[in-house]
Amino acid sequence: MTLQPSATDGRSQTEVFVYGTLKRGFYNWDKYLRPDQGAEFVATAKTVERYPLIVEKKYGIPFLINQEGVGHNVEGEVFAVTPACLRSLDELEGYPQWYDRYSIPVMLSDGQVRSALVYMRNLDKSPMDWDNETFYSSYSLQLHKQFYVAGLAKRA
């Protein structure tokens, strides 16, 4: 099943599931998801459905593909973010040009299932042949340190 892009509903905070460079301890967390930037860590989580998590080879950018049922239950973190913080994330992710936002169910570490926004690569506007790519269940700090090219990774 293919998901439809999601808009926010005007709440004061929106829960966002992050799976790559925005996780705590990774390059973009410090720039976008600290508490003084309007973000509050909620919990570690994983997607209820399986999705392909791919690490782009040129700059080491991790991204999800909107192909439910393919790949793995992806591990990540949930943050509650303010509208201003969400706008910053939209800018980082190139939404809606390079990535779309979707509302998906995620299971928190305590077993609760919640809906959270997630960014997935927009293959219509940023096509790629992903069928022969490796699918990951987690974008680890080891992968991040090995492949991510900060600054150059604006657009893969």
- Is 68 tagged catalytic? no
Measured CA to CA, the distance from residue 1 to residue 146 in angstroms comes to 33
Interatomic CA distance for residues 83 and 150, integer angstroms: 25
d(Cα 8, Cα 154) in Å, to the nearest integer? 24
Q: Are 138 and 74 spatial neighbours (Cβ–Cβ below 8 Å)?
A: yes
Exactly one of 15, 56, 75, 93 is catalytic; name it: 93
CB 118 within 8 A of CB 101: yes
Question: Catalytic residues, which ones?
Answer: 93
